[in-house]
Amino acid sequence: MSSVLIKNESRLGLKLVAPAVGIIGLLVIYPILFNIYLSFFDVQLNGTKTFVGMENYTDLLGNPRYFHSIGVSVIYLIGTVVGTTVLGLAAAILMNQEFRFRNLARGLILLPYFAPVISVVFGWQFIFDPVNGIYNHVVVDVLHLTDTRENLIGNPDSALFVVILFDIWKHFPIAYLLFLAKLQSVPKDLYEAAAIDGQNAWGRFWHVTLPELRFVIATVVLLRIIWNLNRFEDVYLLAPNVETLPIFTYYQAFAGIVDQGVAAAISVIQLLVLVGLIWLYVRKVLKW
């Protein structure tokens, strides 16, 4: 290609990416930097700022609520990452079998992932509603496990588990899709060879399926951690009393005694963790 063509091409390329990259730069890159700047100030909702140095950070490190929310986030992350991965894998193996109505079943199990959070949380709240909910009906009236109807979502400790279950329900389909795509490309003769070697179903899973899926499993786990570290809506809308890190940040920034500087400081720390994870993802997983 002549140099004029190359020059034209790169000029056109820059022109085409300019709007998108400009907007992303202005509204993502700049805010990230601005956030670091804000974390050294006392910031009010109306925009008033007073410089406080490292005070936001020292306050944060002396705040038991902060460490509590980290603890809640860790439990949430472990529960949801393990749950979605295991259920996603199980669902993928199941849906990879041949049976009647398979397409229908495949479509139906994607529903939770597609549905808007705001609508499905109400369904979940109704299920666990202490007065009308089916959960209390089954536990108390049918199985007689306890005598009293409990408000599982009202109590932050039990609500954490409802929130984890909800997240697994909502997000295992995406893990399932990733696993299924990979499963379909596992060569059948691998299974046949293992069968000839006398492996039963469990052995075939252990010696063929798992090693073949190793890479996808790592991808799913990493992606779940990245997305769930920032997960706000699914938790807040279902049980605002479960204080994971993003929800703690939200309360600091927009509710009660507003302290946006502290919220900025939390975000900065969280961003550092996230950047590490994303770096891992981009380097190890992504082929753009």
Contacts to another protein from residues 117-176, by CB under 8 A: 117-120, 122-124, 126-127, 129, 131-132, 134, 137-138, 169, 171, 173-174
Is 20 an interacting residue with respect to another protein (CB under 8 A)? yes
Asked if 158 and 239 count as a contact pair (C-beta separation under 8 A), the reply is no
> Does residue 288 touch another protein according to CB under 8 A?
yes
Cα dihedral sign, 133-136-142-148: negative
Using an 8 Å Cβ cutoff, are 219 and 174 in contact?
Answer: no
By CB under 8 A, residue 273 contacts another protein = no
Q: What is the CA radius of gyration of the chain?
A: 24
Stretch of residues binding another protein (CB under 8 A), selected from 59-67, 75-83, 110-118, 153-161: 110-118
The DSSP call for residue 43 is E
Pairing of strands 41-43, 49-51: antiparallel
Shortest distance (Å) from residue 125 CB to another protein:
8
Encoded one letter per residue, x for contact with another protein by CB under 8 A and - for no contact, window 181-220 reads x------x--x---x-------------------------
- In angstroms, rounded to a whole number, what is the distance separating the alpha carbons of residues 42 and 265? 11
Contact letters (x/-) for another protein, 219-238, by CB under 8 A?
----x--xx-xx-xx--xx-
Please pick, from the candidates 2, 114, 185, 198, the single residue that binds another protein as defined by CB under 8 A.
114
- CB 45, min distance to another protein, A: 8
Concatenated DSSP letters for 206-265? IIIIHHHHHHHHHHHHHHHHHHHHS--HHHHHH-TTS--HHHHHHHHHHSSS--HHHHHH
**Of 53-92, which residues contact another protein (CB under 8 A)?**
91
